[in-house]
Structure 1
Amino acid sequence: MLSTRSLFQQIYADDRAYQLFCSVAAGGEDQGGWENERITELTADPVLAPKVARHGADERKHGRIFTQLLRKRGLEKVEVPPETDYCMLLERQGIGLSHDRLTSGAPLSDREIITYLAHSRVTEQRASEQMRQLAKAYAGNPDLDRAMRMISADEDDHLAYCHEELLRLAARGHGPYIRHTLESIARGEIRTHRDVGLAVMTALGRILGWPRHQRLLLTAGVYGLYLYDRLWGWRRMVTLRMPAKRNALG
């Protein structure tokens, strides 16, 4: 029977599949780290800047963890197919702050800070959910259990921080713009998550030699989640509530 746990166990058991899995994850975390480092430099808000810096440091740490997991198996990172590059594909749709903006020297405006936080709020929702799934799938695994739980806890903190900071800005009168930005970013993220999911499944299917019925089943699962997110699930990505854990990155 095909289950999430059995799927991730297949990936873990095969060197090439595991290499691709960890390389995709490490690349995304490193990119997130770089973006947060640049945003820290461009943020004049003395309350927000240290939290953005902490966010970036966590992302860099996660990138190192995935790289170390590879090296523990005697493997190195590989170049990932461009169609699996979640961060790059989001930027190509105009989601978040562009590389050109992040490499400029001008301080970020309030609206650009909102764009950054809204982008993080949506993508950290996805990351939090995915890491909880991975922590559950690899529970008890001697190599991955502790690492997945650590990263999962960090992603939950990042999501809490985004909620709190966006609510702080909403209280200053930015509520309508925040809502509009969150909804726009969520729509783009949902499409991108579908496309990346299909690309990753295709690449893993070639490596692992999945039979046609398994590939069709997994493809149906990706489209099923996409339809759920389009019709209903997007709401969880755009609502804001004060987190139980306050000042998670303070």
Structure 2
Amino acid sequence: MLTAKSLFQEIIDDDESFQLFCSIAASGEAQGGWENGRIAALVPPGMRELAPKIARHGADEDKHGRIFNALLKKRGLEPVPVPSDTDYTMLLERRGIGLAHDKLRRDERLSERDIIVYLSHSRVTEQRAADQMGLLVRYFGDHPELGKAVRMIDDDESNHLAYCHEELLRLNYAGHGRLIQRTLRESALAEIQVYRDVSLAVMSHMGRILGWPRTRAAVLAAGIHAVHAYERAAGWHKMVDLEMPERRDALGTPAAPAHAF
């Protein structure tokens, strides 16, 4: 029977598909680390209290990239180039979601609006990351090879999501509610389309590597389209709601090292 767990198991059991999976994940985390590092360096003077938290977010993302690369190294594998159609971060940027890399490469202070856009975009993408890592922990939290890695990353993603909720609520109370809600909605609707496209691309590459028959590939594609239809109709609301998290000041401490990796 085809299940999410059996699908993931098949991917991680094969060296070539595992190599692509970890390479895609490591690349995305490294990009996130760079983005957050640049944003932390360019925070406007009136919002400097956020800089250490944004830097901590970036340090966590860098750590996750190192963890995925370490998982490859444990198997004697090297990272492989990431196909452009699986590059989630790049495809989001092309849709105008988040802060453009060209802006982040310049040594010019960001505006307050830029930081609100960044936090709103992060709230959406961190929801996706938290949901995905929660699924991996559910299926592989006790896995001898992956368990410790996915549990560590899952805890960090929960912190990132809590931080986004708390900071956006603070900015909402400061009078930025209309911009926040508009940006959240735009980001969520764009993200679910990009996620669908990336999911289809990843499954296509995995199917080629693992030799899936056309019928199986068609079933998986139909499932991805069904998820997108649900998210387009109603599921996106989960990505835009704001509530005070149980974890307060989740990024107010230094990043936990990943010595085991």
TM range, normalised to the smaller chain?
A: over 0.9
- The partner residue of 1:145 within 137, 144, 147 is 147
- Correspondence for 2:59: 57
- Correspondence for 1:40: 40
Query: Equivalent residues in 2 for 1:32-111 (5 A)?
Result: 32-43=32-43, 44=45, 45-111=47-113
Separation in structure 1 between the aligned mates of residue 49 and residue 245 of structure 2, nearest angstrom: 18
2:188 is aligned with 1:186? yes
- Correspondence for 1:13: 13
Deviation at 1:191, TM superposition (A): 0.5
After TM superposition, the score normalised by the length of structure 1 is 0.99
Query: Equivalent residues in 2 for 1:193-232 (5 A)?
Result: 193-232=195-234
Letter aligned with residue 225 of structure 1: V
Separation in structure 1 between the aligned mates of residue 228 and residue 247 of structure 2, nearest angstrom: 30
Deviation at 1:130, TM superposition (A): 0.3
Say which is worse superposed, 102-111 or 91-100, in terms of deviation: 102-111
Separation in structure 1 between the aligned mates of residue 41 and residue 80 of structure 2, nearest angstrom: 30
RMSD across aligned C-alpha pairs, in angstroms?
Answer: 0.7
1:209-239 deviations in Å (ceiling 9; x for gaps): 1112211111111111101110000000011
Separation in structure 1 between the aligned mates of residue 60 and residue 127 of structure 2, nearest angstrom: 16
- The partner residue of 1:132 within 131, 134, 156 is 134
Separation in structure 1 between the aligned mates of residue 174 and residue 106 of structure 2, nearest angstrom: 27
Separation in structure 1 between the aligned mates of residue 2 and residue 141 of structure 2, nearest angstrom: 18
Separation in structure 1 between the aligned mates of residue 28 and residue 19 of structure 2, nearest angstrom: 14
Percent of counterpart pairs with the same letter?
59
Structure 1: which 4+ aligned runs deviate by more than 3 Å? none
SS class of match (2:66):
helix
Separation in structure 2 between the aligned mates of residue 53 and residue 66 of structure 1, nearest angstrom: 20
- Correspondence for 2:235: 233
SS class of match (2:24):
helix
Letter aligned with residue 231 of structure 1: A
Separation in structure 2 between the aligned mates of residue 2 and residue 137 of structure 1, nearest angstrom: 14
Separation in structure 2 between the aligned mates of residue 118 and residue 37 of structure 1, nearest angstrom: 17
- Correspondence for 2:259: none
Separation in structure 1 between the aligned mates of residue 198 and residue 93 of structure 2, nearest angstrom: 14
SS class of match (1:74):
coil
Deviation at 1:108, TM superposition (A): 1.2
Separation in structure 1 between the aligned mates of residue 143 and residue 136 of structure 2, nearest angstrom: 11
Deviation at 1:134, TM superposition (A): 1.1
Deviation at 1:31, TM superposition (A): 0.2
SS class of match (2:60):
helix
Separation in structure 2 between the aligned mates of residue 140 and residue 188 of structure 1, nearest angstrom: 34
Unaligned runs of 5+ in 1: none
Say which is worse superposed, 37-46 or 23-32, in terms of deviation: 37-46
Letter aligned with residue 198 of structure 1: L
Say which is worse superposed, 136-145 or 203-212, in terms of deviation: 136-145
Deviation at 1:183, TM superposition (A): 0.4
Deviation at 1:46, TM superposition (A): 2.6
After TM superposition, the score normalised by the length of structure 2 is 0.95
Separation in structure 1 between the aligned mates of residue 117 and residue 48 of structure 2, nearest angstrom: 18
Separation in structure 2 between the aligned mates of residue 217 and residue 70 of structure 1, nearest angstrom: 29
Separation in structure 2 between the aligned mates of residue 112 and residue 169 of structure 1, nearest angstrom: 13
